[in-house]
Amino acid sequence: MALGFWAQHRVSTAYAKWSRVGSRCGYTGAAVASAILRSAGIDDVDIVEIPGHLTDHYDPANKRLALSSENYRGTSLAALGVAAHESGHALQDKVAYPALHLRMGLIPVTNIACTLLPYLMFGGFVLRMFGLLYLGVAGYLLLAVFQFITLPVEFDASRRALQHLEGLGLLQRDELVGARDTLKAAAWTYVAAFIAAFGNLIYLLVALSGGRSRN
């Protein structure tokens, strides 16, 4: 939990810092995303503006790159870094990056697990229906695997983003510091999510082990 709070604070601080620093090129996040996709020969992905703060994402199923208004219209180093990162996912999709498609395949069952886990924990610990806790172990194991697979997907997208920002001349070398710092801070949120899922799994296993030893 502490790492999670720290990671959220880190990304909020980094984004706020670099969103105040404009890029020399003056391009918007949408323009940068378009340039990256065009350079990779991708012409079937829609770049759209969505509401919310840092709600940016890439949807492989619908070939849709969604950028929050602040990044879609923004010209800051932070905005361009985020837009390039989401473009990195589109590049992964084009080359059939294995981890991306494995992660996408796990999303439906992971969503089901997230919905059921609170009820399983309540039934197991409060109602003393301990059999439900074993289902909880399976759920947290699935979440841990999902978050673990997410790590290389996000790290690789950021790597591709920085390469294209520099390679296409969208950002100068000294400007890459801002984009890199923003993406590195965001990466910590994925690390924290994996540690949280893994920690919950270990806690539940220890609780079950303690219950068996008392019996």
pLDDT at 212 exceeding the cut of 60: no
With CA atoms as reference, report the closest residue to 57 among 47, 46, 45, 65.
Answer: 65
Predicted confidence band of residue 209 (pLDDT cuts 50, 70, 90): confident
Give yes or no for a contact between 81 and 29, defined as CB atoms under 8 angstroms apart. no
| Packing angle of the helix pair 131-167, 98-121 (nearest 10 deg) | 150
Helix (H) or strand (E) holding 64: strand 64-68
Of 114, 109, 102, 100, nearest to 59 (Cα)? 100
Q: What is the pLDDT of residue 97?
A: 97
CA–CA distance, 8 with 173 (Å, rounded to integer): 27
Contact present, 53 and 40 (Cβ < 8 Å):
no
User: What's CA 193's distance to the chain center, in Å?
Assistant: 9
Q: What percent of the chain has pLDDT over 90?
A: 87
Helix-, strand-, coil-residue percentages of the chain, each rounded to 5 = 70, 5, 20
Region of residue 51 (left: phi > 0; alpha: psi -120 to 50; beta: else): beta
For residues 42 and 63, give the distance between their C-alpha atoms in angstroms, rounded to a whole number: 10
19 close to 79: Cβ distance less than 8 angstroms: yes
User: Is residue 207 predicted with pLDDT exceeding 90?
Assistant: no
Mean pLDDT of the chain: 94
Task: Dump pLDDT digits (tens) for 147-164.
Answer: 999 999 999 999 999 999
* Per-residue pLDDT tens over the stretch 62-96: 999 999 999 999 999 999 999 999 999 999 999 99
The rounded percent of the chain whose pLDDT value lies above 70 is 98
Confidence of residue 131 (pLDDT cuts 50, 70, 90): confident
- Split at pLDDT 50, 70, 90, the class of 214 is low
User: Which residues are annotated as catalytic?
Assistant: 86
